[in-house]
Amino acid sequence: MNEIGAGLRPAAVPDLESIRAQFPILGRPMQGKPLIYLDSAASAQKPRRVVEELRRFYYEDYANIHRGIYELSQRASERHDRSRRRVQAFLGARDWREIVFTRNATEAINLVAYSFLRPMLEPGDEILLTEMEHHANIVPWQLVAAERGAKVVAAPITPEGELDLAQLRARITSRTRMIAVSWVSNVLGTVNPVEEVVDLARRAGVPVLIDAAQAVQHLPVRAAELGCDFLVFSAHKLYGPSGVGVLYGRAERLERMPPWQGGGDMIERVSFEGTTFNDIPFRFEAGTPDIAGICALPEALDFVEEVGLQAIHDHERQLLAAAEEGLRRIPGVHILGRPRRRASVLAFTVDGAHPQDIGMMLDLEGIAIRTGHHCAMPLHARLGLAASARMSVAVYNTREEIETFCAALERIAALVRGSGTEP
């Protein structure tokens, strides 16, 4: 059985009936059959409390923030500021000023690439990534590297789908200016040893960014204790609203960074002769944000903590083990990777069938999975594949859903074998 995280103790199994009742969409039929949603790694469904808070905020508290002296604006601003402190507590940050709101994890990485790294890059410098990164943790670095004459270097993975830590260490040189690593692979589910990665980076004096988009909903995150310079995640994968992301950055890093975008709320004083900028984190939050989404995010964090990350971990581990066991019994089905620590995700192929056809046939059974390259084309190329199918579990999934999924996939694989052609 694959472990997700270290330092967690067994917890009580969540009350699934009560949890599922908080997600009305799970009761909606698809293709005339009960919806089995196995695509939470792409975006998690939202509990009723998040949706109701969005509705309540728009009905009762909405106004623009940090601009108006009237009561409604002050109330909205206070709610927004409390959300920042709630995220600070959730991530274990030392200072509320270390929390920057963005649209998503992708924008957070771009902010670091352009505001922090770009000014210091020189020709010949290197940015160290891994072969398992999401495109969002590749392309921004490539863009600033191309502009400045630097290059992106990727540390390889092992045949089991784990980060080769020795090779990562060997690729840290005097020209390395940044290390950016995903905590959990969105394809293999591999849980990377980010504590060791951060330790290597700090010993070499190299800043490090952790992409935690696939981690915060499964693992406890204590950013200050981890010691990373930056950490990013998206609210929509954490049962929260879409359009909201978070950048954690150590205050001493953020204070030295220039603004990335210009506009309202990020300025101190503007004149045609020049502009001075606001303090952190506001200098990185130009324009009107998704105020309602930010104010609803604490409801998602409360949901996760009330269920308990330990209980979520144990439940998802059992589901993942059942899915892995079921898939390995099906002839012609191949799971990508065998990492010792895996979280929430299983990507697979079926002999003789294109992943898109597998996804379409499962959809006829009311089962939602992901197909394609999952925004990880370099990883698929490393594995000799153009695409794969991917199922991912969340706290609201059940053992019965996993059994139904495995049975449906077994029928599809048998159909493919019997026909001798792609479905």
What residues are labeled active site? 375
DSSP string, 70-111: SHHHHHHHHHHHHHHHHHHHHHT-S-GGGEEEESSHHHHHHH
* 334 phi/psi in degrees, rounded to 5: -125, 120
CA 270: distance to chain centroid? 36
Residue 157 DSSP one-character state: B
Q: CA 88 → CA 13, 116, 276, 302, 419, distances in Å? A: 28, 21, 27, 13, 55
Residue 407 DSSP one-character state: H
DSSP string, 37-62: E-BTTT-----HHHHHHHHHIIIII-
The C-alpha R_g of the chain, in whole angstroms, comes to 22
Integer Cα distance of 126 and 186 in angstroms: 24
Q: Assign residue 318 a region (left: φ > 0; alpha: ψ between -120 and 50; beta: otherwise).
A: alpha
Residue 14 DSSP one-character state: P
Integer Cα distance of 398 and 315 in angstroms: 9
Integer Cα distance of 145 and 123 in angstroms: 8
Residue 116 DSSP one-character state: I
Q: Assign residue 263 a region (left: φ > 0; alpha: ψ between -120 and 50; beta: otherwise).
A: left
Which residue, chain included where needed, has tokens 């920057």? Answer: 100
Q: Name which of 273, 318, 365 is nearest 34 in CA terms.
A: 365
Integer Cα distance of 292 and 70 in angstroms: 18
